[in-house]
Structure 1
């Protein structure tokens, strides 16, 4: 566990001072609309009277990933973000532009999660990443970032962490999502930037874009509660007697792709365990002439399902584990 504690009597962030024991919302001005209207991101800060770690909780780095936003919203609305000690900074929507239009990208067409740590003089997304990296991220001891599957792909609730990240693996065990997936840091991602700065980060994936799933939100909320308890930051009135997941470590996985184009009929849910030969889906043509059965090629857990009604040959349909680590 990282013991660094950046909390001090005065937290100086975005040009404002936030003393211990203070609750404050700071509007982070990132740009203006064509109409000259300011676009501002609320930064919700809760500080205990007692110094301790600083936890940064974010969502909506992709504007259409509503389920992640819902997790952070619940953390705030249930007052889980009021720490027993230390500081909790919540940013429910990082990409306000995309959130307004239910779009993954920034207005410049760039994926915010591929331009970190950003550039002072770059594109709009790159400038925002630069400001975030230099003005907000340095205050964090730990980061929790919430995502969903892209497009129509539904992710079973999971934590993604690099295999060589010992602290991340320890925290993933504490978070106790149904699955922990060993996953390399992508160049230009928020997670990769945190790794370079030696700031522990957990990336949570659950659900799909433009969709709000209650069960996924609960998994995310309970994971936050477990992490805060582990760090000694959880208020005592929050009960930890919540569902005790078995955390399954997935060390290797693969995608099962469509061999035909057509209408997709899913037969298994995301998160299900399947055996070799189990029927996963059927693909049919619109005319009742063709029917292809997709079967599992190995025993494993389905951690992502493409729920699109129509697919093309070669489309990724199921993400399935091919090797497992120890269960926790």
Structure 2
């Protein structure tokens, strides 16, 4: 049995106890309180603390659905240790169906935040000070923005064997090497010793059952690896090992117009293959978009209209 004291947001969670805590940072301009539920499940046996978080960008609701299903399926009830779930981090953006905070800032660019800073900065500060110090492992769930659909993927920093092992265990179809971005939640958490995987899948303001299932199954495999998965749950093996994307490139529209996308995220394309058309609305031109090289489409733009220079495909260059 665990004897380690666990106090989060001023409340102590005892071994074998479940609690939903409410993090309150600020109110709406109507004086309405906004509470961010933090759902904590603690086993009687001691073990690691795992955080499943989503909704850092308020319009990336597929991540919220993944964490919601982790809760409703009772995957968050560990056999040992503690699981913390925050389905919606940016509750302000979630209410407004917006990526940003009401102050116009991207929450994922202001970490570790400041106690006396902007609204977003203050929120980041309390998240880092109140929640993250208790966490050993984390999976932060995201989706593609601006109509861009991400194939299900884990993002980790290069040259980190422990994170690579965890990514192999989670076993999303793709693993993309990407450096931590200054001001990001992942960067701030890693500096505090948290081993974090960043999951990307789907697009903003959209729910995709296949993406959701990838996230839930990956979370179960993750917990099983840590000997935390509830004995009543089964971690199903993935059909294939992840494809590691070592380098990749964005393909941008050469013309503005109506965008006819022929490729889904996750597909393999060959050099010269026609993967889309861009047309004008008046029947004057029809431009072919060809794959610049062979590779996997790890992000595909689903927007019906694009402007010259818009990112339309993210294509792998080197895989491992």
**Pairing 1:206–2:201 present:** yes
Give the secondary structure class of the aligned counterpart of 1:222: helix
Asked if 2 retains the 8 angstrom alpha-carbon contact of 1:161 and 1:203, the reply is yes
Residue 165 of structure 1: CA displacement?
Answer: 2.3
Note the 1:86-125 alignment, pairs <5 A. Answer: 86-125=81-120
Residue 242 of structure 1: CA displacement?
Answer: 4.7
Asked if 1 retains the 8 angstrom alpha-carbon contact of 2:217 and 2:236, the reply is no
Residue 8 of structure 1: CA displacement?
Answer: 4.5
**Pairing 1:284–2:279 present:** yes
Note the 1:195-234 alignment, pairs <5 A. Answer: 195-234=190-229
Alignment equivalent of 2:40, drawn from 19, 22, 45? 45
Residue 164 of structure 1: CA displacement?
Answer: 2.4
Q: Which residue of 1 aligns with 2:303?
A: 308
Q: Which residue of 1 aligns with 2:128?
A: 133
Asked if 1 retains the 8 angstrom alpha-carbon contact of 2:269 and 2:291, the reply is yes
Q: Which residue of 1 aligns with 2:154?
A: 159
Q: Which residue of 1 aligns with 2:25?
A: 30
Deviates more, 1:27-36 or 1:221-230: 27-36
| Alpha-carbon separation, structure 1, partners of 2:279 and 2:213 | 35
What TM-score, normalized by structure 1, do the two folds share? Answer: 0.96
Can you list the C-alpha shifts for 1:48-88, whole angstroms capped at 9, x where unaligned?
Answer: 00000000110000000010000000000000000000000
What TM-score, normalized by structure 2, do the two folds share? Answer: 0.98
Alignment equivalent of 2:137, drawn from 120, 139, 142? 142
| Alpha-carbon separation, structure 1, partners of 2:24 and 2:240 | 40
Alignment equivalent of 1:74, drawn from 61, 64, 69? 69
| Alpha-carbon separation, structure 1, partners of 2:171 and 2:254 | 35
Q: Which runs of 5+ in 2 are unaligned?
A: none
Q: Which residue of 2 aligns with 1:267?
A: 262
Give the secondary structure class of the aligned counterpart of 2:249: strand
1:298/1:235 Cα in 2 relative to 1: closer, same or farther (>3 Å)?
Answer: same
**Pairing 1:249–2:244 present:** yes
1:283/1:206 Cα in 2 relative to 1: closer, same or farther (>3 Å)?
Answer: same
Alignment equivalent of 1:180, drawn from 175, 178, 184? 175
| Alpha-carbon separation, structure 1, partners of 2:166 and 2:271 | 32
Residue 39 of structure 1: CA displacement?
Answer: 1.0
Give the secondary structure class of the aligned counterpart of 1:317: strand
Can you list the C-alpha shifts for 1:124-161, whole angstroms capped at 9, x where unaligned?
Answer: 00000000101110000001100000110000000011
Can you list the C-alpha shifts for 1:175-224, whole angstroms capped at 9, x where unaligned?
Answer: 00000000011000001111211210000000000000000000000010
1:265/1:8 Cα in 2 relative to 1: closer, same or farther (>3 Å)?
Answer: farther
Can you list the C-alpha shifts for 1:82-136, whole angstroms capped at 9, x where unaligned?
Answer: 0000000000000000000100000110000000000011000000000010111
Asked if 2 retains the 8 angstrom alpha-carbon contact of 1:67 and 1:209, the reply is yes
Pairwise CA RMSD: 1.0
| Alpha-carbon separation, structure 2, partners of 1:186 and 1:241 | 32
Q: Which residue of 1 aligns with 2:165?
A: 170
Residue 241 of structure 1: CA displacement?
Answer: 3.1
| Alpha-carbon separation, structure 2, partners of 1:86 and 1:117 | 26
Give the secondary structure class of the aligned counterpart of 1:64: coil
| Alpha-carbon separation, structure 1, partners of 2:213 and 2:161 | 26
1:8/1:207 Cα in 2 relative to 1: closer, same or farther (>3 Å)?
Answer: farther
